[in-house]
Amino acid sequence: MDTERIRRVVIAGGGTAGWMAAAALGKLIGKNLDITLVESDAIGTVGVGEATIPTLHVFHQLLGLKESEVMAATNATFKLGINFENWRVPGEDYLHSFGFLGKDCWACGFQHFWLKGLEQGIEYPIGDYCKEHLAAREHRFAVLPDQDRNHAYHLDATLYAKFLRKFAESHGVKRVEGKIEDVRLNADTGFIEGLQLDSGQVIEGDLFVDCTGFRGLLIEGALHTGYEDWTHWLPCDRAMAVQTESTRPAVPFTRAIAHESGWQWQIPLQNRVGNGLVYCSRYLDDEQARELLLGNIEGELLNEPRIIPFRTGTRRQHWNKNCVAVGLSSGFIEPMESTSIHLIQRNIVRMMQLFPSRGIVQADIDEFNAQTVREMENIRDFIILHYNVTDRTDSKFWRYCRSMPIPDSLAHRLEMFRESGVVFKFPPELFGESSWLQVMLGQGLMPERYHPIVDLMGDEELKSFLDNIRKGVRRQVDNLPDHRQFIDHYCKAMPA
């Protein structure tokens, strides 16, 4: 235990991770702290994490940010889910929406009632029993008083960082311009003492937050923490990103389009579209990837495509000594389910919950690391599901994904669902029963039976139960405006 009181916090790196950390620390616990963020204008950020999930509402509420103002400042649109195209087989698609499917009972989830309904000839898609699912398909949305916050955003990550920078600086965070040339360690403890910049200036601190991206200058470069590689389960190792002009009204969902050796994203903002290709370099080289991406986008290019190499996996420790890794320095799970900003947010909140104001305590470090690993492994399993449960055999890439060994934790979930239709969510997990259910069904995994409690409901009662839910969803969605019309009314982007 180090009994030195923590007064000086140094954030290494800007971008989304750095400025989210700065905004939260400055606003929520910064009254008695000296918070400095070091970044260099000469170092670019990845800046393509433009799709989010609904948990970002919690972060904005903590900071007291107004949704419409954040959206207007970041050219944001609403997101109700992700449409997966060609994942099970080419030519088919399914939507993984936010929100909840139907109504559960104490003994089983709604899917068991739906499964029996299929046997009875009530063959409506399961998404018809979810307001967000139906609204996404019909391009409708509105923020209504007292509604559940089951929506997320498509936003400009660079503008989001700028917005948070202004907010953080208004709460006392100091920004220092410069490249980090050396990380100074204490010879006795191995703790980080300061960051030496290219100007010669040394920024000293008590607690350091590593937001330096894939490089992990502090957590890995200085502290040699180690990395657990997950590429045997998630073989894609490169992304190519490009922005295009909008050619049609923005839809309230992200598109994830599977190709022979990876998948393509399309993220509609108010003023442009973010596009990219995630692929495996063992099966597709960069020139082929460029040709594939540019051949499957619409609108004029706004920038040249750029390549982002990555390695899926996790740091062996996310908090090591007096350094906490946040963002890409902590690990990387590919962006299929838009979890990158969520993981930034979780590490920031977790760090504040365990903040070592009276000194670094190993028990706090161990708890932080244990919670982070559990969360990342749950997300990892959910992403592997999309690749492994598929009927595609049309390329070496998909044949590998179908046949690869998977984590025991995921194999157990799949077998339980296949045999009995059961989906469980443990409290700390991000993805709930509705998410697992939609993706497993969408990828072609159907349960062999439903829960016997459903048979206590007679056929007519079951029909009435399902009809009432579906018609209720239909009425709610019919009363919603067009997605684009609501954006223009609620959060139209500010002029450049």
Has residue 89 been placed in a domain? Answer: no
DSSP 431: S
Distance, in Å, from the CA atom of 8 to the CA atom of 204, rounded to the nearest integer, reads 8
Catalytic residue among 27, 79, 116, 131: 79
Q: Do residue 116 and residue 244 come from a single domain?
A: no
Q: What single letter denotes the amino acid at residue 80?
A: L
Q: Do residue 141 and residue 264 come from a single domain?
A: no
Tokens matching residue 207: 């607690």
pLDDT at 47: 58
Contact of 305 with 329, CB cutoff 8 Å: no
Has residue 452 been placed in a domain? Answer: yes
The count of structural domains within the chain is 3
Q: Do residue 34 and residue 171 come from a single domain?
A: yes
Distance, in Å, from the CA atom of 435 to the CA atom of 418, rounded to the nearest integer, reads 16
CA atoms within 13 A on the CB side of 228: 12
Q: Do residue 45 and residue 166 come from a single domain?
A: yes
Percent of the chain predicted with pLDDT > 90: 94
Q: Which of 309, 337, 352 is the last residue of a domain?
A: 309
DSSP-derived 3-state class of residue 361 = coil
Q: Other C-beta atoms within 10 Å of 486: how many?
A: 18
pLDDT at 43: 75
Here the CATH number for the domain that contains residue 343 is 3.50.50.60
Q: Do residue 353 and residue 467 come from a single domain?
A: no
Query: What is the pTM (predicted TM-score) of this model?
Result: 0.96
Q: Do residue 145 and residue 32 come from a single domain?
A: no
Task: Enumerate long-range contacts of 486-492, CB under 8 Å, 24 or more apart.
Answer: 486/78, 486/141, 486/142, 486/143, 487/71, 487/77, 487/78, 487/250, 487/270, 490/68, 490/71, 490/142, 490/143, 491/67, 491/68, 491/69, 491/71, 491/72, 491/76, 492/72, 492/270
Q: Do residue 283 and residue 424 come from a single domain?
A: no
- Residue 277: give the domain boundaries: 238-309
Q: What single letter denotes the amino acid at residue 463?
A: K
Has residue 434 been placed in a domain? Answer: yes
Task: Report the relative pairing of strands 323-325 and 77-79 from DSSP bridges.
Answer: unpaired
471 is an active site residue: no
Helical H segments across 354-431, by residue range: 362-388, 396-403, 408-420
Has residue 383 been placed in a domain? Answer: no
Has residue 2 been placed in a domain? Answer: no
Distance, in Å, from the CA atom of 118 to the CA atom of 99, rounded to the nearest integer, reads 22
DSSP 75: T
Tokens matching residue 292: 């594939």
DSSP 481: P
Contact of 235 with 280, CB cutoff 8 Å: yes
Q: Do residue 244 and residue 305 come from a single domain?
A: yes
Q: Do residue 160 and residue 215 come from a single domain?
A: yes
Distance, in Å, from the CA atom of 423 to the CA atom of 197, rounded to the nearest integer, reads 51
Structure confidence by residue, pLDDT tens digits, 273-297: 999 999 999 999 999 999 999 999 9
Q: Do residue 129 and residue 143 come from a single domain?
A: yes
Contact of 296 with 257, CB cutoff 8 Å: yes
Q: Do residue 198 and residue 216 come from a single domain?
A: yes
Has residue 335 been placed in a domain? Answer: yes
Structure confidence by residue, pLDDT tens digits, 8-51: 999 999 999 999 999 999 999 999 899 999 999 887 666 566 99
Has residue 74 been placed in a domain? Answer: no
pLDDT at 46: 62
Has residue 460 been placed in a domain? Answer: yes
Tens digit of pLDDT at every position of the chain (496 positions): 445 789 999 999 999 999 999 999 999 999 989 999 999 988 766 656 699 999 999 999 999 999 999 999 999 999 999 999 999 999 999 999 999 999 999 999 999 999 999 999 999 999 999 999 999 999 999 999 888 899 999 999 999 999 999 999 999 999 999 999 999 999 999 999 999 999 999 999 999 999 999 999 999 999 999 999 999 999 999 999 999 999 999 999 999 999 999 999 999 999 999 999 999 999 999 999 999 999 999 999 999 999 999 999 999 999 999 999 999 999 999 999 999 999 999 999 999 999 998 899 999 999 999 999 999 999 999 999 999 999 999 999 999 999 999 999 999 999 999 999 999 888 778 999 999 999 999 999 999 999 999 999 999 999 999 999 999 999 999 999 999 999 999 999 977 6
Contact of 28 with 62, CB cutoff 8 Å: yes
Q: Do residue 191 and residue 327 come from a single domain?
A: yes
